[in-house]
Structure 1
Amino acid sequence: MDLIDEIHRAVERGEPTAVVLRRRYDAPVEDVWDACTDPERVGRWLAPVSGDLRPGGTYQLQGNAGGRILVCRPPGLLKVSWVAGEAHGHSEVEVRLSAEDDGTLFELRHSMTVPPELWDGYGPGAVGVGWDLALLGLHLHLTGGPLPGPGERETWHLTPEGRDYITRSSRAWDEASRAAGTPAGQASAAARRTTSFYLGEKETTMAEKITPFLMFQNGDAEEAMTFYVSLFTDGKVLDVTRTDDGKIRHATFALAGQEIMCIDSEIQHGFTFTPSMSLYVTCADEDEIDRLYAALVEGGGALMPLGSYGFSTKFGWVNDRFGVSWQLTLP
């Protein structure tokens, strides 16, 4: 789906905190307003709604939030209080509609008081992913696209399309959080927990996560990290903080789905890397193991030259030019 990119997201930190979503719909303002306020239509793309549905009245979305209708000015402004689950204080949702090029500019602002531990744990995606899903439902409703039936909504996150949309939405809120000033490592960790929550996966706590940590003695952590990332198709640098002289104070990168941390040591220790601890790579094919071995052994040294030793099709063990030990195997 390319609908993720059609939404502009912003995070406003403060008291209260707010997440803002803005996108354009190819439908008249009156139609979008009706879809957002007519109970029968709301039930088709969001959830069945009940209550005293008038300004000053109350509403309740089935299995979701409820609250009071604070402002209702057709066809441009709807504002409601928003209480879902355990209340944490102020929580209001404001929807503004305006005409734009024969369509409608839709803006949703959800302002809320967020406990620090909840924000640090899940970030803006905790509510942002939910609103992305709602805006997807509204898009499908307005365009006549296929909407999940009542029995399918609870399992849509298990479908390939659902998993892809949720994962990409969470990444987009990760980027919005960083743009608002959240440290990259904190934003990414919160996004991963949010993704797991929406996908119904077991949340990995900090105590259950093990991450290799490489300490470089010669100020070459960034050179090594850049080299390692270049070797793997999905390799990427996740976050970097530097010292005043430009060295790596702390960085996180990922290779084949495995996160690895590294630093430039500010203290010269009497030890460095040792082959008794290695990064062990299971390769997909012979081309990959040959390529990785050649790149890693250059400027370093072979502990076990690439070959067949009886326990796998092909195996090689090297120290790279930075001193880090790698074991490469082809099953």
Structure 2
Amino acid sequence: MKHINLSFAACGFLGIYHLGAASALCKHGKKLLKDVKAFAGASAGSLVASVLLTAPEKIEECSQFTYKFAEETRRQSFGAVTPGYDFMARLRSGMELILPSDAHELAQNRLHVSISNTKTRENYLVSNFSSREDLIKVLLASSFVPIYAGLKPVEYKGQKWVDGGLTNSLPILPVGRTVTISPFSGRLDISPQDKGCLDLYVNIAKQDIMPHCGHSDEVNIHILVNVKHFMGAQAIRNILPNHLTTKQTKSQLKKHPYHILLSKGPRNNTKTSHQNKDQNYLITGTSYQYPAGQQVIMPKTLPPIPVSPPSL
């Protein structure tokens, strides 16, 4: 069996998109998850990766926390930067609530978290965690957007760290086939099927994204719910083979457990991505009628820094 990895892109509160994908994978892609050797992510993507790996039964609980967290932040006069509002403390409370006591043991050498060093501006993928607190600190560092989340970067092993999405927003692991998941259209395995305004891609922090010319409204709780369901549909769209019918699904999935492994993947083979784009995939169990594509906007990240991510 191939060495399979899952990587979740940095995306802020659109991390609810990842939770939709994670939920769909837990329900319809159990055979795929059994073959996944490692999980990776940046910022919100690392948070979802950690939950999927250490506490998959708490995906829905994590979704509810995200809805409340987003709405709470939105109610503040100046959002997350409102004086007196501690964004990082609120995020930590969610981690404390959801991550199990042995999360660091489950994540050891299987979870790869992207973080950025404030001094060298280099990217590091952390996969060794000595304690649960150690894991939480790394996840907080990966999610720390300067100014937006606070003024003091997260301290870890005597150094200061910020959002991993600033230097590597979509980690690709060196060993095996990395399945990429993102709420932004681009050369990815699971993402919105948006044609964009031009047939071009922009590389932002090592993630190829297709610019979108549609309008973007204020992100609220209703949009987040729609985005979650939309992503669940996209995950199923890329997992199930296109020749199955609803009645055949259970029996045929034994022979064809997931579709994405039948090709090298769009990130590794551009020709394959164009071929897959024209196929009519089957969508079952999840609605695909939500107009979430119009709500997906470019991530607020810095240009990529040309460095090779060393191990930490």
TM-score by length of 2: 0.24
Larger Rg: 1
**Scaled by the length of structure 1, what TM-score is found?**
0.23
More strand by share: 1
